[in-house]
């Protein structure tokens, strides 16, 4: 009986031969590996258009002939909030937002395909887009949908369209 067990163990030890494929000195990070296997959507291949929200805060992105339009509403109460509109474009680092009439509020937001996060610090001119103690810095949004109709339907606290020209 001991000989059979020993023979079985030796036989199993010999089953794992050397790999024939090339080995990589650098292994991909977890996110890259998940994208390659289809477990996670590649944010570079996901359209940026649609409706995003978190609590009462809203963000919409729509395509336009000149530049993709973006609208943001952060609504704490009647005296504290932000309303910003402008343009957005995809960059290697995320999404570049240019807000306000003077284009002085410009920053890059993180975007992974489903979530959009504004940076923790935004340029000083962005404060003009807010009232009271509200600010754009650090705001985060989750995708509600990719529907253009849903993005067009977004309104600010006064009922004004957020992403329409």
List the domain boundaries for the chain: 50-153
Q: What DSSP string runs through 60-71? A: EEE--SSSEEEE
pLDDT band at 102 (very low <50, low <70, confident <90, very high): confident
pLDDT class of 18 with cuts at 50, 70, 90: low
CA pseudo-torsion sign 94, 86, 129, 144: negative
The pLDDT tens digits of the residues spanning 117-165 come to 999 999 999 999 999 999 999 999 999 999 899 999 998 888 889 887 6
Which residue do the tokens 């009462």 mark? 56
Q: Which residue has the tokens 């910003």?
A: 84
Query: Burial of 102 by CB count in 10 Å (0-12 exposed, 13-18 middle, 19+ buried)?
Result: exposed
Full-prediction pTM beyond 0.75? Answer: no
Which residue is listed with tokens 């790999």? 19
- 19-72 pLDDT, tens digit per residue, is 555 555 666 788 778 767 767 666 666 789 999 999 999 999 999 888 899 999
Q: Phi and psi of 144, rounded to 5°?
A: -90, -40
Written as six digits, the tokens of 143 are: 């995708």
């Amino acid at each position: 009986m001991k000989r059979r067990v020993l023979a079985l163990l030796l036989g199993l030890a010999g089953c794992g031969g050397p790999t024939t494929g090339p080995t990589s000195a650098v292994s991909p990070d977890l996110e890259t590996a998940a994208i390659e296997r289809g477990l996670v959507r590649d944010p570079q291949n996901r359209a940026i258009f649609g409706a995003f929200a978190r609590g009462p805060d809203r963000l919409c992105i729509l395509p336009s002939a000149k530049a993709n339009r973006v609208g943001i509403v952060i609504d704490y109460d009647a005296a504290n909030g932000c309303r910003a509109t402008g343009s957005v474009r995809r960059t290697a680092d995320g999404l570049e937002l240019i807000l306000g009439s003077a284009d002085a509020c410009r920053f890059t937001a993180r975007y992974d395909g489903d979530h959009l996060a504004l940076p923790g610090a935004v340029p000083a001119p962005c404060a003009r887009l807010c009232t009271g103690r509200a600010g754009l810095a650090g705001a985060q949004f989750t995708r509600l949908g990719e529907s253009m109709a849903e993005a067009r339907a977004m309104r600010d606290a006064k009922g004004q369209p957020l992403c329409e020209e």
